[in-house]
Amino acid sequence: MRKNRIFWGAIAPIAAIFTSMVLMYIILSLRGADPFALFKLMVSYGFDPRNLVSELNLTVSYYLAGVAAAIGFKMLLFNIGIDGQYRMGAFFGAVVGAAIDLPPILHVAVIIIVAMIAGGLWAAIAGYLKVRRGVSEVISNIMLNFIAAAIIAFLLSPKLLGSLPEGSQNVQTKPIPASGQMPTIKIFDGEVYSVLFLAIFVGIAYWIMLNKTVFGFNLRATGLSFRAARSSGVNAPGMIFVTTVLSGAIAGLVGIGTLLSDTHSYSMAFPSGFAFTGLSLAILGRNHPVGIFFAAFLWSFLERAGQVLEFEGIPPEIVIVMQGTIVLSIVIAYEVVARINLKQQQRAVGKVAAEPVIEAEVK
Amino acid sequence: MKNILEVSGIEKKYPGVVANRDVSLLVREGTIHAIIGENGAGKSTLMKTLYGLIRPDAGEIKVFGEAVTLKSPQDAIALGIGMVHQHFKLADNATVLENVILGSEPSRFGFVIKYDEARKKLLEIAKTYQLDIDPDEQLANLGVGERQRVEIAKVLFRGAKILILDEPTAVLVPQEVTELFANLRELVKKGLTVLFISHKLDEVLSISDDITVMRQGTTVATLTPAGTSKKALAELMVGGELPKPIAGALVVSPESILSMKDVSYSRADGREILHSLNLDLHGGEILGLAGVEGNGQSELIELVMGLLKANSGSVEVLGLDALTTLTRDIRDAGVGYIPQDRQRDGLLMAAPLWENRILGHQFATPMAKGIWIDKHAAAEDSKRIVEEFDVRTPGVNVLSSALSGGNQQKFIVGRELSGDPKLIIAAQPTRGVDVGAQAIIWDHLMQARSRGAGILLISADLEELFSLSDRIAVIYSGSIVSVLDPAKTTPEDLGLAMTGATK
């Protein structure tokens, strides 16, 4: 039964990737390019060791965004506010990290905790509005993303929390001292951020929390059926609020790798778009920590490898088409698989219910 | 009288399951012919075959003496076979007339609907068969019984001579059942034929001319009401003797385990649902709560479970104040709760059975150890429930949505009786459940009573109330209007009390 489940779980993503490759093939052929040669080029570029390192670092950020989205999905929450929560986390992490002076490990820990609190509190606004005022978290989170970006832009003014380093046009927070920086691992001329280990820990903790604890059971129960959870004694509105905050806290970690291992300060140059990516990855990885990892790696691989297309005169935006196709196909494929599974189970149940018939015939 | 419908040797197999085999049926013209059987006995498969929704693997169907092949419902309708589904297929935002003609609109040039003609035809049907319907009423304003009449009119509008009614009484209150039966008698008087699917034996005996019993996919007997009894029918359905509930001696404990005093509750929109309600339940007794649905039963249950808070009065559950106690603490104190809407309130449909075993028991041993869920204990205890309550499932890893309704209910009852609760709130414990499962559930409730548990039994099934209750409280418009002794009360008296008639 377990083997069967893994088979059906894997067949859907493979079918989705295949579908998107067929579409890519058609588009590239229409442009008069040789699709197979380009695929080959993308693969060899993407698996180039130096590129692998930067893909891995991006994977970690994507992974955390994916886990944040997955926690929300388990509660039927569409946390599109990951962008705002990540910005709040990275910004306040950077500000507090630069303002305090602590021994190395403690310093990093404080920054990480501050980032989680900032992300969590920012999400709490949407959580409160949903539970107490019935506001859809999608609407409030979209607004909160804009508000977060505006607040940070305001606070980044050199008169307030920002600074303008000499000879630079880019306002940023004051640099975090060495004690608050995270080490990197040097491989293949590249540097892997050590936040990788934090991400692995988050993935494991997420899985244990969800599948092994009473809290995780209550979370899933509320997501599966609000009314049934409430009847069973779960404080269902409270669970929705706590889950929103938890999702925001994880989102607050998305920028930590870049901040503590690379830039050491927050600036407006920090990338955006983690909300949509995180949601896509959670869907692709079926909210499973391992699945999300593979999805995150696929995403950053495609984005990195897609850059090589530019040298061949193909716009790299085609990668976005590919990602979109994968997400669309996966949603359909998972639904099909889910229906097949239910059919199989009903058939198995039917067999048991029909067993007396066979007995009667033997008599 | 000739046979309007002859079915012989029908067989339908699905991979691994024989849904119908060697089914034969003779239906006389102008009669009400009941088909009875447990859930999963093959009634629905047979009816779907007759309506052209399923094509059988083998066998023959004759309508008016001629062999026919039914490829689709359109074929069935053309032959004069119509079906009234258990779950109505009507549009709320349209009028009765629009609903009736939908899909078979009389039209000019194929697109201008001839409403006048349609209205005339519908009124004629209503008059002929004495169906009380208003063509211009909005469907949204109609109650369940009226909606059913619209469904019947819809089928008649299409010229049906044979009507198939799939469990028509499952959704009706006693008064509506009486009306429906009057309508059905009128239909057969005018020469139509009715196929009536049910598993309520009392109704079947009172309305039918012929009764065909199905069991395990095949027809086992055809009888007349005069030539059989309820007990005989039940035994034919389950294929053996029914387990009898053993009524232990009534030992009522002196202190009450549930006490509601002067309870009033109003909804947020100001409508008063419960009005100075008083109720008292002792350990060791079953208190039936009778009432037409919507008289405050749901709110009463939610108040007891701590899911709603009363505006005034007191609710005491096992010594706890339900107005200030969390639902989880009420449950942990020893309250079992069988909700009336099992799929929405009682189960996680997309979760496996063993996880559903935990639901409602996730805060205490044996299902939880501290902050951890005990999967092993949950799976083991689920297996026990599957065994003791005869839940038909290949295992406890199956999703609860894959089980049939009756089996879901048996599992819920098993779960809620686990850990020997002191108070059991049983709302419609056997609704939509076949006789075999009903006997099992009743038996376990009686056992719980003998053990000293107090049971509040909320039921729309008068037979259930009379069979199980030690006392019957009648709720009407948010208050308990009388408490009756079932041994000294007739169903008619109870029905009268339920409608608020004062003596």
pLDDT band for position B320 (50/70/90)?
very high
CB-defined contacts A:B, below 8 A: 123
**Does residue A1 surpass a pLDDT of 60?**
no
Side chain identity, residue B261: K
Instruction: Pick A324 or B431 by higher pLDDT.
Output: A324
| Record: contact A233-B330, CB cut-off 8 A | yes
At residue B203, the pLDDT reads 85
Sheet of strand B32-36, all strands in order from the earlier edge strand to the far edge:
B81-84, B162-166, B193-198, B32-36, B210-215, B218-223
Q: Which residues on A lie below 8 Å from B330 (Cβ)?
A: 233
* Local structure of residue B280 (DSSP, 8 states): E
**Residue B251 phi/psi, 5° resolution?**
-120, 95
Q: How near does any CA of chain A get to the CA of B120, in Å? A: 46
Cβ within 8 Å, pair B40-A353: yes
Residue B387 or residue A1, greater confidence: B387
A226 touches chain B (CB under 8 A): no
- Bridge-based pairing of strands B368-369 and A184-187 is unpaired
Distance CA B85, CA B282 (A): 42
Mean pLDDT (whole number) for A291-296: 95
Asked if B351 and A346 come within 8 Å (Cβ–Cβ), the reply is no
Query: What are the C-alpha distances in Å from A145 to residues A112, A148, A341, A345, B353?
Result: 21, 5, 38, 43, 40
* From A118-122, A342-346, B448-452, the region with the lowest mean pLDDT: A342-346
Tokens matching residue B272: 């008063």
CA distance B495 to A328: 56
Q: Nearest chain B Cα to A227, which residue?
A: B345
Comparison of pLDDT for A186 and A108, the residue scoring more: A108
Q: Measured between alpha carbons, how far is A162 from A140 in angstroms, rounded to an integer?
A: 28
Interface membership of B168 toward A (CB under 8 Å) = no
- Report the residue of chain A nearest B218, measured CA to CA: A357
Q: Quote the minimal CA–CA distance from A5 to chain B in Å.
A: 12
Rounded Cα gap, residues A262 and B226, in angstroms: 90
Share of chain A above pLDDT 90, in %: 58
pLDDT of A344 above 90:
no
Strands B3-14 and B17-28: antiparallel
Distance CA B354, CA A345 (A): 15
Distance, in Å, from the CA atom of B408 to the CA atom of A312, rounded to the nearest integer, reads: 61
Question: Does the distance separating the beta carbons of A356 and B363 come in below 8 Å?
Answer: no
Are B373 and B367 a contacting pair, CB within 8 Å?
yes
Which chain B residues contact residue A74 at CB under 8 A?
none
Question: Closest approach of chain A CAs to the CA of B118, in angstroms?
Answer: 41
Q: What is the pLDDT of residue B42?
A: 82
pLDDT band at B260 (very low <50, low <70, confident <90, very high): very high
CB-based contact (8 Å) between B404 and chain A? yes
Task: Identify all chain A residues contacting B305, using CB atoms and an 8 Å cutoff.
Answer: 231
pLDDT of residue A362: 32
Under an 8 A CB cutoff, do A347 and B14 touch?
Answer: yes
Question: CA of A134: how far to CAs of A249, B320, B436, in Å?
Answer: 22, 31, 45
Backbone angles phi, psi at B254, to 5 degrees: -65, -40
- A354/B18 touch (CB, cutoff 8 Å), yes or no: yes
Across A131-151, average pLDDT: 95
Residue A196 and residue B456: Cα distance in Å, rounded? 56
Query: Closest chain A residue to B390 measured between Cα atoms?
Result: A353
Q: What's the average model confidence in pLDDT over A99-123?
A: 95
Nearest to A228 among B216, B345, B402 (CB): B345
Do the Cβ atoms of B278 and B261 come closer than 8 Å?
Answer: yes
State residue A354's pLDDT score. 54
Check B326 against A216: CB less than 8 A apart.
no
| Mean pLDDT along residues B392-404 | 87
pLDDT digits (tens, 9 = 90+) for B9-25: 988 876 656 778 889 99
Q: Which amino acid is at A249?
A: A
Contact assignment for A349 to B402 by CB distance below 8 Å: yes
**Selected residue with higher pLDDT from B124 and B109:** B124
Question: Per the structure block, which two tokens stand in for A158?
Answer: 């050199």
Cβ contact B331–A356 (<8 Å): no
Mean pLDDT of A280-298: 94
Res. A353: pLDDT tops 70: no
Whether residue B1 has pLDDT greater than 70: no
Confidence of residue A268 (pLDDT cuts 50, 70, 90): confident
A224 interfaces chain B, CB cutoff of 8 Å: yes
Chain B, nearest residue to A222 by Cα: B348
Residue type, B241: E
Q: Would you call B364 an interface residue with chain A, using a CB distance cutoff of 8 Å? A: no
User: What pLDDT was estimated at residue B441?
Assistant: 92
B151-B152-B155-B157 Cα dihedral, nearest 10 degrees: -100
Nearest to A227 among B330, B344, B355 (CB): B344
pLDDT at residue B495 greater than cutoff 70: yes
Whole-angstrom distance, CA of residue B190 vs CA of residue B129: 7
Q: Does A213 touch chain B (CB under 8 A)?
A: yes
- Asked if A236 and A229 touch (Cβ cutoff 8 Å), the reply is yes
Give dist(CA B112, CA A112) in Å, integer.
Answer: 70
pLDDT at position B393: 85
Residue of B nearest to A339 (CA): B402
Residues of A in contact with B419 (CB under 8 A): none
Element (H, E) at B235: helix B230-238
Q: Which residue of B has its CA nearest to A353?
A: B392
Q: How far does the CA of residue A19 sit from the closest CA of chain B (Å)?
A: 28
Q: What is the ipTM of this complex?
A: 0.84
pLDDT digits (tens, 9 = 90+) for B343-357: 889 999 999 999 999
Residues in B closer than 8 angstroms to A230, CB to CB, are 307, 327
Average pLDDT of the segment spanning A205-219: 96
Phi, then psi, of B345 in degrees rounded to 5: -105, -20
Cα–Cα distances in angstroms (integers) from residue A91 to residues A111, A161, A172, B8, B500, in the given order: 10, 10, 10, 78, 67
Per the structure block, which two tokens stand in for A185? 């691992």
Residue A217 and residue B362: Cβ atoms within 8 Å? yes
Q: What is the pLDDT of residues A3-41, one digit of tens each?
A: 666 676 778 888 888 888 898 889 888 888 888 888 899
CA dist A316 → A303, A319, B109, B225, B301 (Å): 8, 6, 56, 79, 61
Interface of B with A in 38-97 (CB under 8 A): 40
The two three-digit tokens of residue A143, written as one number: 């607004």
Model confidence band, residue A358 (pLDDT cutoffs 50, 70, 90)? very low
Across chain B, mean pLDDT equals: 87
Lowest mean pLDDT among B136-145, B235-244, B248-257: B235-244
Mean pLDDT of all residues in B370-391: 93
**Alpha-carbon span B112 to B479, nearest angstrom:** 53
What is residue A5's predicted lDDT score, i.e. its pLDDT? 65
Mean pLDDT of the region B312-334: 93
The DSSP-derived string for A30-93 is HTT--HHHHHHHHHHHHTSHHHHHHHHHHHHHHHHHHHHHHHHHHTT---TTHHHHHHHHHHHH
B172: confidence class by pLDDT, cuts 50, 70, 90 = confident
pLDDT digits (tens, 9 = 90+) for B115-149: 888 899 999 998 888 888 888 888 888 877 888 88
Residues of A in contact with B329 (CB under 8 A): 233
Look at A232 and B402 and tell me if their CB atoms are within 8 Å.
no
Whether B362 and A348 lie within 8 Å, measured CB to CB: no
B392–A353 C-beta distance less than 8 A: yes
The first and second tokens of residue B405, run together, are 């309704």
- Nearest 5 degrees, angle CA B389-CA B394-CA B397? 95
Q: What angle do CA B353, B359, B360 make, to 5 degrees?
A: 145
The DSSP 8-state label assigned to residue B257 in this structure reads E
Share of chain B above pLDDT 70, in %: 95
Mean pLDDT of A323-344: 86
pLDDT score of A359: 34
Q: How far is CA B212 from CA A240, B41, B166, B220, B495, in A?
A: 52, 12, 14, 8, 30
Query: Which member of A231, A347, A360 has the closest CB to residue B307?
Result: A231
Measure the CA–CA gap between B454 and B422, rounded to whole angstroms. 6
Backbone angles phi, psi at B371, to 5 degrees: -90, 0
Shortest distance between the Cα of B349 and any Cα of chain A, in A, equals 8
Burial of B416 (0-12, 13-18, 19+ CB in 10 A): buried
Counting DSSP H helices and E strands in chain A, the numbers are 15, 4
Non-local (6+) Cβ contacts of A264 within 8 A are A175, A176, A181
Beta bridge partners of B5: B27, B63
**Residues of chain B found within 8 Å of residue A234, distances taken between Cβ atoms:** 328, 362
The CA–CA distances, whole Å, from B275 to A202, B268, B295 equal: 52, 15, 11
Helices and strands: H and E segment counts in chain B:
16, 24
Partner-chain residue, chosen from B15, B348, B397, that has the shortest CB–CB distance to A1? B397
For B126, list phi and psi in degrees, rounded to 5: -60, -40
B383 — contact with chain A (CB < 8 Å)?
no
Residue/partner pairs of B45-49 with CB below 8 Å, 24 or more apart: B45/B12, B45/B19, B45/B20, B45/B217, B46/B7, B46/B10, B46/B20, B46/B214, B47/B83, B47/B164, B47/B166, B47/B195, B47/B197, B49/B10, B49/B12, B49/B20
Closest residue by Cα to residue A55 from A63, A281, A199? A63
How much of chain B is in helix, strand and coil states, percent to nearest 5? 35, 25, 40
The pLDDT score that the predictor gives to residue B19 is: 78
Could you report the per-residue pLDDT of B201-218, keeping only the tens digit for each? 888 888 999 999 988 888
Nearest residue in B to A348, CA atom:
B394
Residues A342, B351: C-beta atoms closer than 8 Å: no
> Which B residues, 246 through 305, put their C-beta within 8 Å of a C-beta on chain A?
305
**Which residue has tokens 């509930």?**
B245
Residue A113 pLDDT > 70: yes
